[in-house]
Structure 1
Amino acid sequence: MNAFYIPIGDGRFESTEHTRGPWSPDAQHGGPPSALLGHVIERCEPREGFDVGRVAVEILGPVPLAPLTVEARVTRSGRSVELIEATLSSERGVVMKANAWRIKRSDPPLELDPAVLPSGSRPGPDTARGDAPFPSDQKIGFHTAIEYRFVSGTFIEPGPAVCWIRLRKPIVAGHDPSPLERTLAAADSGNGVSATLDWNRYVFINTDLTVTLHRQPVGEWVCLDAVTYPQPHGIGMAESALFDEQGPLGRSTQTLLVGRR
């Protein structure tokens, strides 16, 4: 099992143990199926000179460790922007869906004053700690198929955190992960790396994931500068500024269901 998913034909994929999440031994982490949706979105009627600028994923129910069917179609086509819809289904029906905006790159590139561009960086993965324990008793899962290194915080240290994440395995067997796949897989961990509540007493499960990119990621590492905002009424939000080793690249948000176990 050298990948998160194995293609089995006709848009169907076998899920491997590497997709397992922290909440149930029978349910997937949100990162791999979000990246799988990104995989098919990028291959849906591809157009030269276009990049995906935003992906919004809705998590309609637990994603089982089972065969999945993934489909994508262009629902709004245009000269400069187009909208793609994708669904991910198990034998129980649709369990995730996504909308993605694909946007035409400017050619020639725009001449911009560097002063108006986003700046800043985070200490790189080479200077970060890679020994933080992950709060799961599962021997194999998403946490064993990624490499994570913390600049600040840890999974079990409450509060904001800065964490670099790199996939150890491809999302789909036989395909190198694209920058979009890497980013979607990592971004779904924002509520985990910046957890503010005890994993043993509370759940803080995201119902969605929205990733907006102002440039395409470069390299294997994605950094989350993440913070979680839980509220007593049980609705929360996690927000992550996204970086690669060249600097800022976008932002992700997650709506959270917060409750006692």
Structure 2
Amino acid sequence: MAQTEDEASYFTVRDDTLVPGPHARGWWTPDTVHGRLLGGLAARALERAHAADGMHFARLTVDLFRSAPFAPVQVRTERVRDGRRIRVADAVVHSGDGVPVARASAVLLRTGTPPPGHIPSTGPWDAPPPEELSVPHGSRLLWRFDEELRPVRTWSGDQRRRAWLREPHPLVAGEPLSPFVRVALAADTASPIAHASDEGLHYINADYTLSLSRLPLSDEIGLEAGAHTAEDGIAVGHCTLYDTAGPIGYCATTAVANTAPTR
């Protein structure tokens, strides 16, 4: 039986709260809301309240500092700075009992004419297009999300970790995913791509910072791990992000060692 729109979405709006659906549950702990969705909700709220013509979301930092109980959440935003060329806004995600569980900060910059001169830059991706790749099952390096994750080759040894990711579900019922919300949802996956080992994922994401020169033009977001360093159970890393037209930015992430759940 086909899912209805409300069943397919991660959240539905009820009064001034967002009510999670069954597949919004966390990967690490099933009685929580998945952390990547909190970042998506923060991005949605920031875009709805603070987007403006000629202003581009150049940075989004999401702090995931507390597990969110599997219950309705609220998001509140505040404009911190509004200048001629820059706008800064914050968002806080609250659980049903009013406790903050995540926060985000966004920087919007006014677009304009590029300056002259040549700067060496990130080149086009040589990964196969997403339609040529399948969604594998049973790999020890894959973790259960609801996105469609399509690795470019099997990740083994020190090979480059590259994947296409597409979010098939609406974040909120009745609302199509905007490019900004789509890439904010995808950005959380930079942590497992950068930090998973040959024995699975054992680092839980503490935060991520998404830096964008432009918004994605395609539903598919490409990620390529660029770095991982770790010491004493603390890991940092980053990925380059692409759409089907080329590079769009980067995502840096910090994570802390955590025992993976038994599946």
User: Which TM-score band applies after superposition, normalised by the shorter structure?
Assistant: 0.7 to 0.9
Deviations, residues 79-133 of structure 1 (Å, cap 9, x unaligned): 1101000000102500000010011111xx4365677553221322122231143
CA displacement at 1:64 relative to structure 2? 2.2
- How far apart in 2 are the matches of 1:126 and 1:238? 28
| 1:9 aligned residue | 15
Letter in 2 for 1:101: V
Letter in 2 for 1:241: T
Which secondary structure state, in structure 1, belongs to the residue aligned with residue 32 of structure 2?
coil
Which secondary structure state, in structure 2, belongs to the residue aligned with residue 185 of structure 1?
helix
| 2:68 aligned residue | 63
Instruction: Evaluate the alpha carbon distance shift between residue 66 and residue 244 of structure 1 in structure 2; reply closer, same or farther with a 3 A threshold.
Output: same
Which secondary structure state, in structure 2, belongs to the residue aligned with residue 44 of structure 1?
helix
- Report 1:1-261 matches (<5 A): 1-10=7-16, 12-90=17-95, 91=97, 93-106=99-112, 109-110=113-114, 116-121=120-125, 122-133=127-138, 143=145, 145-154=146-155, 160-194=160-194, 195-196=196-197, 198-199=199-200, 203-226=202-225, 229=228, 231-260=230-259
CA displacement at 1:13 relative to structure 2? 0.4
Q: Provide the aligned length of Structure 1 versus Structure 2.
A: 249
Contact 1:230–1:258, Cα closer than 8 Å, also in 2: no
Instruction: Evaluate the alpha carbon distance shift between residue 259 and residue 170 of structure 1 in structure 2; reply closer, same or farther with a 3 A threshold.
Output: closer
- How far apart in 2 are the matches of 1:60 and 1:17? 22
TM-score, normalised relative to structure 1: 0.86
CA displacement at 1:2 relative to structure 2? 1.8
Contact 2:55–2:110, Cα closer than 8 Å, also in 1: yes
Contact 1:45–1:74, Cα closer than 8 Å, also in 2: yes
Contact 1:127–1:151, Cα closer than 8 Å, also in 2: no
Contact 2:50–2:89, Cα closer than 8 Å, also in 1: no
CA displacement at 1:210 relative to structure 2? 0.6
Instruction: Evaluate the alpha carbon distance shift between residue 24 and residue 81 of structure 1 in structure 2; reply closer, same or farther with a 3 A threshold.
Output: same
Letter in 2 for 1:19: A
* Alignment RMSD: 2.4
Which secondary structure state, in structure 2, belongs to the residue aligned with residue 256 of structure 1?
strand
- How far apart in 2 are the matches of 1:117 and 1:83? 26
Contact 1:228–1:236, Cα closer than 8 Å, also in 2: no
- How far apart in 2 are the matches of 1:221 and 1:112? 31
- How far apart in 1 are the matches of 2:186 and 2:177? 12
